[in-house]
Chains A and B, each alone.
Chain A
Amino acid sequence: MTRSSRWKNEILNRHLLRAVVSVAAGVILFSCLTSHVAPVAAQTPAEWERLSAEKSLGNPNAPIKMIVYDDYECPVCGELYEQTLRPLIDDYVASGKVYLVHRDFPLTIHSYSRQAARWVNAAARIGKFEAVERAIFDNQMAWSEYGTENPKGIIKPIVQSALTPAEFKRVERLMQGCESNSQSEIKGCAVDAGIQRDLAEGQILPVRATPTIVISVRGQQYPPMTGAISWPILRQFFDKLLSQK
């Protein structure tokens, strides 16, 4: 091998090494930047849709569909539920005008919101979503970190009070492996899959804060709304939507 071809080979090797290092650095950087996005849990779309239907209220063919991304520990979510969603459920959902879909979006800044979501998801799997969600929100000040009662994060008795003993036993069985208050996904906690899927859906939207409301009518989606909206103002918007042909 001549001196010049050896030199050329050396240059080529150097470039090749640089390229490999750059690609590796790129891959590491990309994985770091995307690591905050929760992976979509191993749950089939059909399973998630079934669970999603269990966490929804009203007629799926209602003209208006309203999706609410909630964190059970967020005080504004509690306010929205008590002041706005309850009259909505009793009136427009009950009369078939609105289909209300709940999605979980537990924020990591709240210590017990994921655990509350696990209980509600377990209850949803036995068809008891509405009762347990109501109990969780009605008693938010009892179990959340903003409440006055100690020790905090005691959610089990609240769920128990909303169910019959037989129902509670079934929910408890579903909660096996989910005892920790961990805010991240627990391996072996079956109900976490649905929460992870809701979180992934929210990140696509993107949900920037809770509660986030997405309203769609006849396939046309309105931009996400964040924060508490009072019932008279929301009803006025729904009436306007319903009066449109």
Chain B
Amino acid sequence: MASSSRWSMGRVLLLIGRLTLAVVFLAAAYGKLRPQNAVPWTLASLKITPASLGLSMTFFAMQVDSYQLLPARLVSPFAYALPWIELGLGIMLLTGFALRYISLASTLLLALFYAVVIRSYALHLAINCGCFGPNEKLGAWTLVRDGCLFALGVAVTIGAFIVYRRSRSTVVVT
């Protein structure tokens, strides 16, 4: 009984973790794809249009470039791909489809972000993070937040693998 309630609690925690990660990835993707020229701010300025999309991605490319990590020829391909990868991961996490692999991929991406943020902070780069849009300065808070998100990713991945193994062994016993 106690084991069964612990099991249910574990599944609930996994669900909460998975949905939290999904929201984080969806917010990050939207922050990069939405129109960036939100001054003066209007409701219409939040709407993504084909015309605004190209501008938003080239604007994000400037933020990627300010990290001084990638050669110029790789900056744009990376900046153009990242928001769509985040969107895809967010949707997949929301549905729970192939959770083990999707959570593993999400955690690897979060590990990459965390490493880049640590490097930039250590080099005292006074730049914007660009993580959820253009206005956030990269600082100690970014470091803490990205560390927490990475830890959450690890927890969700471990949880997804445990749930998979447990449900498989239950099927075998049945």
Contact = CB atoms under 8 A, between A and B. Distances in A.
Interface of A: 76, 208-210, 217, 220-230, 232-234, 236-237, 240-241, 244
B126 A233 contact: no
A225 B65 CA distance: 11
Given A227-B66, A228-B66, A229-B65, A222 B137 contact: no
Nearest to B63: A225
B51 interface: yes
A206 to B, nearest CB: 10
B125 interface: yes
B45 to A, nearest CB: 9
Q: Is the interface of A mostly helix, strand, loop or mixed?
A: mixed
B39 A223 contact: yes
Interface of B: 36-40, 51, 54-55, 58-59, 61-63, 65-66, 68, 72, 75-76, 125-128, 133-135, 137
A24 B72 CA distance: 57
A220 B66 contact: no
Q: Which of B39, B62, B63: most chain A CB closer than 10 A?
A: B62
B136 to A, nearest CB: 10
B62 A234 contact: yes
B55 A244 contact: yes
Contacts of A227: 66, 68, 125-128
Given A208-B126, A221-B37, A222-B36, A240 B55 contact: yes
